Amino acid sequence: MGNVGGDFTYLNISAWSDEATERILKPRLREGPYPAEEVRDRLYGFVEPPSYARCRRALNSRIVVLRARAGTGAGTAAFALLAERHGEGGVTGLDTMGDLSAWRPKAGRGYLLQGLPAASAGSLDDVRLAGLAEALHAAGAHLVVTLAQDARLPTDTSRWQEAHVAPGPHEVAERRLRLLAAEGRLDSSQLDTALGHLASPEFSGYLSTHPLPGDAVDLSDGLRQSTETPTLTGSVLEDLLTGTEAAARSALAQARHSADKVSLMAAVALLPGQDRTVIEQFAAALRPLLGERAAKKGQTEPPEGRPLDILGPSFEDRLEAIGARPLAPCSSPADRYRYPVQPIVFSGRHRSATLLRHLWLDFEDMPEALWGALEQLRYQPGLDLAAGEAIGRVLAHATGPGALIQLHRFASSGDRWRRRLVAVALGELVQHPLVSGAVKEQMRRWSRSSVVLRCTVAETCAGSYGLARPAAALKLLDNVLDGSAPELDPKLSAAVSFALGALLTEEGNHTEVLETVTRWLEAGRGTPRHTLAVHVIHSLSLSTFPQPGAPGSVRTSLSRTLERYPAQGLALVVLSLDDPATHEAMAQGLVRVEADPDLFRRTAYDRVLSELSRTARHRRGVIRFLLGRHRDHTNSSSRRTTS
């Protein structure tokens, strides 16, 4: 177990068919409060755009509708505007598919809706926005809405709208370099060198043709790396340019007659950073599928007119031919045995994403071949995560009502790693406002379908999808337990437990999770909800939930629950004592809390006993516990007196 890049990585190795990389990814967009550290990270290196002062004044009216082109940093500017008013911990995301004209604020916070859909934009006239502004003023809240530049709002809403202008790319790059120096990640000579390169005609010319803030961030990262390694500064621009759309199309055009090159390019693009063995296995699986695809179209490999090459080119030569390279060998970050791996990546930034997108979307039958090659692979740690993220980014650009149908073949698989691949892809997809509605509808349908698809829904809730919208995730988990057979399927139980554990990694979700488990305990004995609640309560009372050895970076116990969430904890204690399936476990847990002076104090256990006494009249299980406790204390006192 370990912490990788700020995300939590765990590996379940109980059975080969159930293996999966259980990394809990952080979402970029949320429907709920953003943790302060996430807002802080989003604002790292923020440069006020030319339109910022105007937007700040406009927010005095409580609402700003921010028009912007994609990639110009409007979302970051919106975070900055709201953080100024409500602090880094005071920003709450809104559902893009919700009816904004009917929404009202619940607290004095900063609210952010990123990517208002065109259908919703048409319903926001001046009267509705004025009414919403009054409600925001009464609550002490503010709202920023980002909107595509070509989206249309009613003409009478102009007073609420502001045009976002991106900050200068040179200013963004310089700001980040100076921050790196202030943090000690660059010394003064390295900073001077990097700033000198940034001011050179070559780099200034690049920024003039690539003026988006993201381009400037990539350039500053490249300059930082060039100061730390013997890399030539000229290769920084080369790496950036090889990731462009034009470069991707050119590379595919040059490789189109070679199944070997195309299969290797697809492997590195779909599985970036995976070990060379995995890359070779995928390329070997894809190569004959590409041959079959070409045969269907009446195409054959052109004759080369050369003697037969028995040995063929080396793996390194093949990588060089497609613009990829191996990184230095290292230990696997995703497995407890830490076996050596040698990651393979493309040399250029963003090359994997652009190549895979064109390969997947522009060429007939290519997705089928890629899915087929994935299907032939055995599980390797990290495979599901890498492929899931890559496929999610690709499908975010797909169109048509059937774009998500291709996920079904893996979502309905009996292998957990394939279901996790789909879960990661859906978690990535839902971060894109244009397709988030389709993803949510797909999840709703699957949550009432077969047990295997329900497992996929639960696995999806155990990641960025669930963390981005915890309330919706808990409703989905409620659905997947609704139509199950009376006997709770072990795989479904494990998936739902994993999802609850994933939600508990963030403090703000604990109350809702505890309240959900309490409702499930009231569902009635013999139901899947009750069975799952019993498992959670046994774990909480006797050790922790998630249990030791099970996936989860945050483990909560009965004492922690009573200490941090007294109202929800007490409700759970009362119901658990009154339920024969959980009475003994909860009683043991309470005895342990009472026996430990420190836990007794921190949980205010005397107040817990007082509340139990107050409710005992109507709860046989509570009476049983209190009488047993009284008997034990009396016997203990008698023994002390006798001795």
**Chain segment 397-432, per-residue pLDDT in tens:** 998 878 899 999 999 999 999 999 999 999 999 999
> Looking at the predicted structure, is the pLDDT value of residue 481 above 60?
yes
For the segment 561-611, what is each residue's pLDDT rounded down to a tens digit?
A: 999 999 999 999 999 999 999 999 999 999 999 999 999 999 999 999 999
The two three-digit tokens of residue 587, written as one number: 């009683």
CA distance 197 to 204: 9
> Looking at the predicted structure, is the pLDDT value of residue 12 above 80?
no
Q: What pLDDT does residue 2 have?
A: 32
Residue 311 · residue 318 · CB < 8 Å: no
Residue 345 forms beta bridges with which residues? 325
Q: What pLDDT does residue 305 have?
A: 58
> Looking at the predicted structure, is the pLDDT value of residue 301 above 60?
no
pLDDT level of residue 324 (50, 70, 90 thresholds): confident
Compute the average pLDDT of residues 521-537.
93
Q: What pLDDT does residue 286 have?
A: 95
pLDDT level of residue 383 (50, 70, 90 thresholds): very high
> Looking at the predicted structure, is the pLDDT value of residue 123 above 90?
no
DSSP character string of 152-220 = ---GGGGGGEEE--PPPHHHHHHHHHHHHHHTTSS-HHHHHHHHHHHTSHHHHHHHHHS-SHHHHHHHH
> Looking at the predicted structure, is the pLDDT value of residue 185 above 60?
yes
Q: What pLDDT does residue 151 have?
A: 81
Mean pLDDT score across all residues of the chain: 88
CA distance 429 to 22: 18
Q: What pLDDT does residue 23 have?
A: 85
For the segment 265-284, what is each residue's pLDDT rounded down to a tens digit?
A: 999 999 999 999 999 999 99
- Minimum mean pLDDT range among 80-94, 223-237, 340-354: 223-237
What pTM value is reported for the model? 0.88
Residue 174 makes CB contacts below 8 A (sequence gap 6+) with 195, 198, 220
Residue 598 · residue 642 · CB < 8 Å: no
> Looking at the predicted structure, is the pLDDT value of residue 119 above 80?
no
pLDDT level of residue 448 (50, 70, 90 thresholds): very high
> Looking at the predicted structure, is the pLDDT value of residue 308 above 90?
no
